[in-house]
Amino acid sequence: MNLKSQTLAELAALFKEMGEPAFRAKQVYKWLHSGVRTYDEMTNLPQSLRGKLTENYPINAPEVVRKQESQRDGTIKYLWKLSDGNCVETVLMRYHYGNTVCISTEVGCRMGCAFCASTIGGLVRRLEPFEMLDQVLFTQVDSGLPVSHIVLMGIGEPLDNFDHVMRFLELVNSEDGMNISMRHISLSTCGLVPKIDELAKRKLQISLAISLHGPNDAIRDRIMPVNKAYPIDELLSACRRYYDATSRRIHFEYAMIDGVNDSEENARELLRRLKGLPAHVNMIPLNHVEESPLKPSSRKAVAQFQKILEDGGVTATVRRTLGGDIDASCGQLRRKYTQGR
């Protein structure tokens, strides 16, 4: 058990069992969530307790194995080594509204999207709650930049690691922890319909982003195997239910892929599908992945696609590409590292 995966209430129960006074749990919780690497840094704890905790509950903080900083926009990408030797990536992006970290939720991914580097080697394992929290925490500690926003858009499918992700959200949002507002957190999914419904029941104030990438089943089937289990109509109905439960506008991510999903007809079909759903479309110029034959759309196609959506009354923005000089499309750094490059 890692203490940093425990809520304050659970920690309090554990400390009670250990015969420690109640206030110790809160002290330890605050220290752990401030990013210490050893119990010896917890200077207001008695030596004996520090020793006991060190022996029984290793902190297992991740180590930086690679760090790349963009010369263009200050984006920083970390490759972390976890306590079992597996690696995951985290990206820190500097937006005008605040520093945003993009975290991984799994080591690898089993969703198999054709354009994505993270899924090439399949799923290795899911991350523990503390391993998600540590990415936020140690990115802040290492960079010295305060983190205000989080996106769950790194390696892995967050809804395929549902319970651990829910617990991570509770931890990172806690008042005695990093206290990051749910409204500053976005969760992105390729479209696991039953889990979207489960998430809706929690009525969290997070933003839900759906990786749509196509206006119909034919296109989604071709690039996203998940669509065979949960076709687009079912996915959009789940989005409607999510909106009804939370009143949160849905964000649709749409990677623009040359000749695959970027025609004017595709834009018009997307418009028809999204009609009546409070939606925002985030167009992402495809990041080229070495192993994939898919190519990004032309600037002209992107502009035309956006215009059709906007003219039809759906807000659409083109995501600014950050960190283009540092392999910042998730999964690429880990992939290079595990191939020994």
| Catalytic residue IDs | 89, 330
According to CB under 6 A, which one of 211, 227, 261, 266 is a site residue for ligand SAH? 211
Answer yes or no whether residue 190 interacts with ligand SAH by CB under 6 A.
yes
Contacting range for ligand SAH; rule: CB under 6 A; set: 24-32, 33-41, 57-65, 111-119: 111-119
Q: Answer whether 227's CB lies under 8 Å from 191's CB.
A: yes
Closest CB to ligand SAH among residues 10, 221: 221
**Distance separating alpha carbons of residues 161 and 125, to the nearest angstrom:** 10
Task: Work out how close the CB of 28 gets to ligand SAH at its nearest, in angstroms, rounded to a whole number.
Answer: 32
Answer yes or no whether residue 45 interacts with ligand SAH by CB under 6 A.
no
Answer yes or no whether residue 165 interacts with ligand SAH by CB under 6 A.
no
Answer yes or no whether residue 262 interacts with ligand SAH by CB under 6 A.
no
Closest CB to ligand SAH among residues 45, 185: 185
Answer yes or no whether residue 100 interacts with ligand SAH by CB under 6 A.
no
Answer yes or no whether residue 284 interacts with ligand SAH by CB under 6 A.
yes
Burial class (CB in 10 A: 0-12, 13-18, 19+), 247: exposed
**Residue 313 backbone class (left: φ over 0; alpha: ψ -120 to 50; beta: rest):** left
Burial state string for 299-332 with b = 16 or more CB within 10 A and e = fewer than 16? eebbeebbebbeeeebebebeeebbeebbbbbbb
Please list, in sequence order, all residues whose beta carbon lies within 8 angstroms of the beta carbon of residue 181, skipping any fewer than 6 positions away. Answer: 173, 205
Task: Work out how close the CB of 209 gets to ligand SAH at its nearest, in angstroms, rounded to a whole number.
Answer: 6
Q: Answer whether 269's CB lies under 8 Å from 216's CB.
A: yes
Answer yes or no whether residue 253 interacts with ligand SAH by CB under 6 A.
yes
According to CB under 6 A, which one of 329, 333, 334, 335 is a site residue for ligand SAH? 329
Window 112-131: contact mask with ligand SAH (x via CB under 6 A): -x-xx---------------
Task: Work out how close the CB of 91 gets to ligand SAH at its nearest, in angstroms, rounded to a whole number.
Answer: 11
- Quick check: helix, strand or coil at residue 206? coil
**Distance separating alpha carbons of residues 77 and 139, to the nearest angstrom:** 9
The H or E element containing residue 305 is: helix 299-311
**Closest CA relative to residue 63, chosen from 143, 165, 134:** 134
Residues contributing to the site for ligand SAH (CB under 6 A): 113, 115-116, 153, 157, 188-190, 211, 253, 255, 284, 286-287, 289, 329
